[in-house]
Amino acid sequence: MDLNSILSQLGVGSKDTVYLSVTPGVGLELIQLDVQSRTVKNYSYRPLEYNESLREIADIEMFKNAVTELFEELKINPKCSVVLNLPMVLFGSKELPLLLADDAVQEALTSEVEQSYIFKRYEPVVSWADSNNMQSGDLRKLFYSALQKNVIDDIKNALAELGITLAGVEISLTSILKAMAFSGLAEEQMKDNVSWNLMLITPSGYSICSLVGKNIIDYYDEPLAIKSFEGDEIYNAINASAQITLMSYPANYLYIVSETDMVSAELLAKRLQTDSIVNYLENNSFKKQDILPVSLEVLEETAHKISLEAIGIAVGSAVSMPVKFNFIVSGTGEGEKDDPNEPIHVVLGSSEFDISPNAARNVSLLIAIVLVVPVLAAFIGIPMIGNKKQAQLDDVTARLEQTNAEIKRIQEEQNKANDFDVNAEIKKVMSSNRSKLMGYTALGESVPKSLWLTYFAAKDDGKFDIKGESDNVEDIYIFFKNMKDSLISTQLRLHKLQMKSDSVDDAVTIDPNSPSDYEFEITNMSNTEVSNLEKALAEKLKQAAEGKTDNKDAKK
């Protein structure tokens, strides 16, 4: 079962994420990227009028129609989530006390935003983030941005009518920075500790974003009535204004990006007087080459329209910028949603999901079970296994003590009777049969450590019968080979090799700590002789058990 199926059973609805960008000069863009190969898989756009004065989509119905057409053209299921890029309305920075709570920060920044002419008429949605490593004493520097609440609500409602969920909203500045990082256009500039300025030219003026690597340090916006100039006048006007501004932001690099067809970034780069190394990018009709390679699905003429904003929004989490905003979530992006029951957008690797609070609780419970159950099982099971093994060890110890006591008793009886003399017996063997001596010698030199002999017989006619046990087959074969090598002329053979257990079930459950698991018999007797020997031995053992043999026979 895959991840989507599991999450679906837990109440988590898997949805595709679609990336849209409202880009003045292009319209509404829909883009799909292959992040691994850094190529554009699919792309299309529709003209969409944007009101630069009011900083909003001119006609929300046209927006809804454009979305419908794009989804139909690219065959996208409307039951999806949309992350949308919008043109930046307001961006700024402010220093506030470190100890100020988030709600107080929100209130202070909202008061600051409301001083702008746009937000004197419309309620703002403010998103803010801490600037990295920019604290001075008891103060911290915050970057903030704002969009009109009614604009976001209109877009959300328009998409909802189509069955689409608005999962996130970003602004053009952060989208452009992400696109430059993803495409490698600003690879040199975005290295650590490299200072550089991004100069954005828009129909309403220009802005300078001062950075060190990927970290935004400062931001300056200069309104300029670009449409009121004719021909080269606009370059002279920007040059005269920007020279003074750039002196306040000394940097190694200056990167000029033109967002309007009225200004060529290339021409401005040649005329702008600065000590920085100047790079430029045409994000307008002056564009000479595509920002990213495109698949064959995208027509060449259409591919030429792809903007930095569209690429930046489609990058998603593949590029992380220190300063980022999301206007669907209040405050820094970590606050609660307007609707506490509204699904939360979650990204897990290459999959993205909308998860409700109830489903989130289900997932949390599942994770808790997966993590806790093995721990509990180990906590309960290990002592049980330990107790079982201890009982087995105690049983073996008791039997060993009993065996040792029996051996000691037999030895004492033998010493008392003085009927068995080891040295005399050895002399007897040496004098009567040299083959027996060779057998004993071979036996003493060939027994591995993990092998035990339970029976040994050497007859006067050179016949041998050896029985024993071992906990592994390898030692049995080593012992057999050594005996054959030592007693070359005896023609020993491995008559029997089997597990001690009488059944498969017993074999499976054999204690791994048991001293022997296999029994064997090595002999040079015929099968009939072996059988007769075993019968004779069995008869003697039976008689001994019944007490019918005399003391001497029992000892033998």
DSSP assignment of 230-292 equals -TTHHHHHHHHHHHHHHHTS--SEEEEEE-STTS-HHHHHHH---SSEEEEEE-STT--S-SS
In a shared domain, residues 93 and 160: yes
Last residue of a domain, one of 324, 355, 386: 355
What's residue 149's pLDDT?
93
β pairing state of 351-355 and 13-14: antiparallel
In a shared domain, residues 52 and 180: yes
What's residue 21's pLDDT?
96
CB 233 within 8 A of CB 225: no
In a shared domain, residues 224 and 312: no
What's residue 334's pLDDT?
38
What's residue 151's pLDDT?
94
In a shared domain, residues 442 and 458: yes
Asked if residue 388 belongs to a domain, the reply is: no
Asked if residue 369 belongs to a domain, the reply is: no
In a shared domain, residues 213 and 333: no
Rounded to whole angstroms, the Cα distance separating 169 from 166 reads 8
Last residue of a domain, one of 355, 375, 403: 355
In a shared domain, residues 149 and 200: no
In a shared domain, residues 194 and 181: no
The tens digit of pLDDT for each residue in 150-174 reads 999 999 999 999 999 999 999 999 9
The tens digit of pLDDT for each residue in 459-489 reads 777 788 888 999 888 888 888 888 888 777 7
In a shared domain, residues 195 and 176: no
In a shared domain, residues 57 and 165: yes
What 8-state DSSP symbol labels residue 195? E
CATH code at position 233 = 3.30.420.40
Full domain range(s) for residue 32: 1-107+117-122+144-185+293-355
Order across the sheet with 90-97: list the strands: 90-97, 139-148, 124-136
pTM tops 0.75, yes or no: no
Give how far the C-alpha of residue 136 lies from the chain's centroid of Cα atoms, to the nearest Å.
38
Asked if residue 308 belongs to a domain, the reply is: yes
In a shared domain, residues 30 and 179: yes
Last residue of a domain, one of 355, 379, 407: 355
Per-10-residue mean pLDDT of the chain, 556 residues long, equals 48 72 93 92 94 91 95 92 93 88 90 89 90 72 92 94 93 93 92 93 91 92 84 87 87 94 92 90 88 87 90 89 78 40 51 56 71 72 77 85 85 67 59 66 77 83 85 87 79 84 50 66 86 83 72 46
What's residue 281's pLDDT?
93
What's residue 225's pLDDT?
83
In a shared domain, residues 462 and 331: no
Asked if residue 208 belongs to a domain, the reply is: yes
Q: How many domains does the chain have?
A: 3
In a shared domain, residues 47 and 160: yes
What's residue 125's pLDDT?
94
Asked if residue 85 belongs to a domain, the reply is: yes
**Nearby residues of 354 by Cβ (< 8 Å), 6 or more positions away:** 12, 13, 15, 81, 165, 167, 343, 344, 345, 346
